[in-house]
Chain A
Amino acid sequence: MLLFSAFISGLGLGSMYGLLALGFYVTYSVSGTVNFSQGSSMMLGAVLCYTFTITLGWGMAAGIGFALVLCALWGAVVERLAVRPFVRGGSNAWLMSTVAIGIILENVALFWYGNEPRGLPSALVRDLVDIAGLGVYPLQLAIPVTGLAIAFALQFLSRRTRHGKAFLAVVQNQDAARLMGINVSRAITASFAVSTVFAGIAGILIAPLFNVSADMGTLFGIKAFAVAILGGITSAWGVMVAGLVYGLVEATVTALLGSPYTQIVTFALVIVALAAMPNGLFGQAGVKKV
């Protein structure tokens, strides 16, 4: 029973790690960079949703919609300010600049929103549903379903729509894509916007369960990054599966050993996994050409 409850919560958290990690995958595959402020983007989605629905009293749909639009805009801002200036010359400076912009966002949110966590009420956490003798909130089931649905949608859209195919073209060969008339820098900006929207969705989904606070994103973002790395940041499905595995392992460790050991064991496993498979569980080392 304990393990089953761990299974449900692990699945939920894991799919959210996976969703954030999909954001890492999207930007990395298009541009070779990651948005290290992904965790704060998640917090942004939750905080904005709270502001629109609770503070301003808008309806859920409007609140969520506007929150995600602003998340997308933030993603574009991050790309323009913290990534694009540093990608030329092959430097790694975008790593630290996205860390910096994440710190800035988190602290601005702290000043504006305050540092007490606040709950976000939701119809999906009002009544428990009985699953095999265990009381579960409908939201806890909705979360993994939503996460997987988004992963599916990403796969489908990238293969079936024109914009999706353009995105795949940029992933495979930036120069050829440019020659085919695809606006590569717009594709990169769009990829950052998409990744922050994913993070925002994840933040909004878990907010009713975990409360909204300015620092809810940092550790989450770091774990999601571990998930992206483990999944092999070049594979969308790998990243999603890695997220689920990570969530399940984390929940199991918490159930069996207690929460103080969760971070230690899971991070140690991350190091061991990377030592064994430097390209992640599903990634492949590309063939280098010199």
Chain B
Amino acid sequence: MSWARPLALAALLGGVLAFSFVANSYHLFVLTTVALTAMVGAGLNVLLGLTGQVSLGHVGFYAIGAYATAILTTTYGMSFWPALAAAAVLAGAIGVVLALPALRVSGPYLAMVTIAFGFIVEHGATEWRGLTGGANGILNIPPPTLFGYELGERDVAQLAVGFAVLLFALFRCLERSPWGLAMRAVRDSEVAAGAIGLNSVAVRTAAFALSAIAAGLAGAQFSPLTSFVSPSSFSFFQSVLFVLVVIVGGVGRVLGPLAGAAVVVLLPEFLAKSAEYRLLFFGILLLAVLWLAPEGIVGALAHRFGRPRQTAASGGGVDVPAWLAERATGAALAVEGLGISFGGLRALDELAFAARGGQVTSLIGPNGAGKTTVLNLVCGFYRPDQGSVRLGDRPISRLPSHLVARAGVARTYQTSQLFARMSVIDNLLIALRRGRLGSLAAALVLPPRDAELRRVAESLLAFVGSGGPRGGPPRGLAHWGKRQVDIAPAR
């Protein structure tokens, strides 16, 4: 019943909009806060859910959005709508700039850069009195006007809800697009992602920038909410709360941030205890969710009520040998004078061989001879100290691994480097793209046109003899056969 879910969502949206017509001023404020928080959550879901990177400084982008509209509409008298656009662009630009240092590192290092960024924005807003009004903030922010009509609280709330719906739709599109697959591949195994032609720095930068733009858009609508912004709304703890929204809702789930925002904003309202308990409550909630329901609310619900997309093997219908022959370039792999040392150990010295196209060439040797090292050098995972590797006429020895992969070199690994949290079919779909993901903008709005690619993938799986279900994650050695598929020199 594929209409059940969209119907339920439409009903939910209808209910929320109906509520906004009867709600009082305070309820509208809470509703808007939920919507704005959900927007930041949707953006952060791209970074955390798809790409697996934690940011503890996203309140910085939220603040930038808020101050941008506040300053542009008060000091410069700009209308709200261009200010909104400017805020989003500014947040995105700063996101890209921050991504440069942030994404050379990952894990705790990235967390540190984002924490530092959040503090700089918060303290910068407090100190840059000329621009931001300092600790007193900016007052009397005018409400947005549309064709002369001044937007009241209800309109602001509905606008926020509308934007939240938009962001969720964009997320859903991105998730299924090649970019979404690429982000999950980079999350699951950066090494393997490089070996199939994905530029992981570019992918992560895109994710970071998108999450920054979302936070900026949300923050931009925060300033007309109370007609007032000050640095006290943008503390480090707020960044932690944004991450909490994504985790509680369900990391990587489209509607996760909606559930998370509802919990994070509404539950303290229902508990009605003093604000002091709020922080303790959130700490306990975060720990409890991580222990008991790491899939989050939406994830837990999906396990209970959802049906896994177990598409059975279908054969595909593409003639695999012909398809492979089309892609064979006949280029020879030529290695000359290759040498590398690890510390004091000379692992390879003056190695030379040629592997001609259309043939099987075997490299044999005893344990520790350096066979895997040769593979790693050819694929760009290591850089040689001497010598060169050429594919046809093209030197590839000092290219990064994703460019070597795009040139046409593919490999398997001693231990399986599958993208463990992606389905079998998705593993193939991303590998077959050989790093070509199309435009990011198209990924956000257009459905993926991958029917042809899916048929090729199914055929390759059948060719290799892999008969299991396609929709689930790869498990067990039987799926090792799937890796053989990536050797096929797809172009």
Which residues of A does B touch, CB under 8 Å?
28, 34, 81-82, 85-86, 92-93, 95-97, 99-104, 106-108, 110-111, 218, 222, 225-226, 229, 233, 260-261, 263-264, 267-268, 270-272, 274-275, 278, 287-288, 290
Contacts and interface: CB of A to CB of B under 8 A. Distances in A.
B191 A268 contact: no
B208 to A, nearest CB: 14
Contacts, number: 122
A261 B120 CA distance: 10
22 contacts: A28-B108, A86-B290, A93-B294, A95-B107, A96-B286, A96-B290, A97-B286, A103-B240, A104-B284, A108-B280, A218-B236, A222-B115, A222-B236, A225-B108, A225-B115, A226-B115, A233-B108, A264-B119, A264-B120, A267-B117, A271-B101, A272-B101
B6 to A, nearest CB: 32
Interface stretch (B85-93, B122-130, B169-177, B314-322): B122-130
Contacts of A278: 104-105, 109
B112 A274 contact: yes
Interface of B: 52, 54, 56, 98, 100-101, 104-105, 107-109, 111-113, 115-117, 119-120, 123-124, 126-127, 191, 236, 240, 243-244, 247, 276-277, 279-280, 282-284, 286-287, 290-291, 294, 342, 372, 376, 381, 413-414, 417
B441 to A, nearest CB: 28
B120 A93 contact: no
Given A34-B108, A108-B280, A110-B276, A267 B287 contact: no
Given A96-B286, A103-B286, A107-B277, 18 more contacts: A92-B54, A96-B244, A100-B284, A100-B287, A100-B290, A103-B279, A104-B283, A104-B284, A110-B276, A263-B123, A264-B123, A267-B117, A268-B116, A274-B104, A274-B105, A274-B109, A278-B105, A290-B413
Nearest to B53: A92
Best-buried of A93, A226, A271 by chain B (most CB within 10 Å): A271
Best-buried of A103, A110, A222, A278 by chain B (most CB within 10 Å): A103
A97 B111 CA distance: 14
B54 A260 contact: no
A275 B100 contact: yes
Contact of B116 (A85, A92, A95, A226): A226
Given A104-B287, A110-B276, A96 B104 contact: no
A96 B126 CA distance: 28
A95 B119 contact: no
Contacts of A96: 54, 243-244, 247, 286, 290
Contact of A229 (B109, B342, B381): B109
A261 B283 contact: no
A288 B294 CA distance: 30
B120 A268 contact: yes
Q: Which 7 A-B pairs have the closest CB atoms?
A: A275-B101, A103-B283, A107-B280, A100-B286, A267-B116, A104-B283, A100-B287
A267 B284 CA distance: 29
A267 B115 CA distance: 9
A82 B124 CA distance: 33
A86 B294 CA distance: 10
B376 to A, nearest CB: 7
Contacts of B108: 28, 34, 95, 225, 229, 233
Contacts of B279: 103, 106-107
A140 B413 CA distance: 56
Contacts of B376: 290
Contact of B287 (A82, A108, A270): A82
Contacts of A264: 119-120, 123-124, 127
Best-buried of B54, B120, B276 by chain A (most CB within 10 Å): B120
A92 B107 contact: yes
A97 B247 CA distance: 11
B191 A288 contact: yes
A263 B124 CA distance: 9
A270 B286 contact: no
Nearest to B291: A85
Nearest to A86: B290
A100 B123 contact: no
A103 B277 CA distance: 11
Contacts of A85: 290-291
A225 B115 CA distance: 10
Contacts of A82: 287
A135 B12 CA distance: 68
Given A85-B291, A229-B108, A260-B126, A271 B117 contact: yes
Contact of A260 (B127, B247, B282): B127
Nearest to B127: A260
B106 to A, nearest CB: 9
Contact of B111 (A95, A100, A103): A95
Nearest to A91: B294
A264 B118 CA distance: 10
Nearest to A97: B290
B283 A107 contact: yes
A218 B127 CA distance: 21
Contacts of B98: 271
A111 B287 contact: no
B306 to A, nearest CB: 22
A99 B286 contact: yes
B280 A260 contact: no
Best-buried of B104, B283, B286, B342 by chain A (most CB within 10 Å): B283
A106 B100 CA distance: 34
Contacts of A229: 108-109, 112
A99 B113 CA distance: 16
Given A225-B112, A271-B113, A275-B100, A101 B105 contact: no
A223 to B, nearest CB: 10
A106 B3 CA distance: 48
Nearest to B191: A290
Contacts of A92: 52, 54, 107
Contact of A103 (B56, B107, B280): B280
Nearest to A289: B372
Contacts of B372: 290
A248 B117 CA distance: 21
A226 B286 contact: no
